[in-house]
Amino acid sequence: PDAPWRCREQGFAPIPMSLFNCHNPETNASIEAVGWSAIQDTCAIYLPLGLGLLAFFETQRRKRAVFSKRTTALPHRTPPPVGTGCLRWLSVLSMRDKELVQCVGLDGFVCLSYLRMCLRLCLFFSFWGVVLL
């Protein structure tokens, strides 16, 4: 009985134990309704934002002075050509590590390796998030 009061004294809001009651169908329905509406709200906000940023990147990546200094500065270390179509830059993710180190240097290789790891983690947790929802 006094557990919620201790939470307030320590600066925490008490958690209603009815949220953890899995046998109450009303609670489960309200949690499911909140869950799906939260997913819809998140998609409505972040999907257009993500698509807008992707479109911005796709239009700006063709500017050689910003993204491809090596094509003019070091022609012997130029990476293989990437198509100008939409999402053609994804072929960089399938390049071998030796090619990446030779083309983009160690700092670029570490950055791309980190992005690969983040992509794999994102896909893994997205898959399990969808399965468990």
Q: 18-50, pLDDT tens digit by residue?
A: 555 555 555 555 556 667 778 888 889 999 999
Residue (of 116, 112, 58) closest to 82 by Cα position? 58
Amino acid letter, residue 94:
S
Dihedral Cα 56, 59, 60, 64, nearest 10 deg: 170
pTM given for the model: 0.46
CB 79 within 8 A of CB 105: no
Q: What is the pLDDT of residues 43-79, one digit of tens each?
A: 899 999 999 999 998 888 777 655 555 556 666 666 6
Report for 2-11, 77-86, 93-102: range of highest mean pLDDT: 93-102
The pLDDT score that the predictor gives to residue 6 is 52
Query: Taking all residues of the chain, what is their mean pLDDT, rounded to a whole number?
Result: 74
* Distance, CA of 50 to CA of 40 (rounded, Å): 15
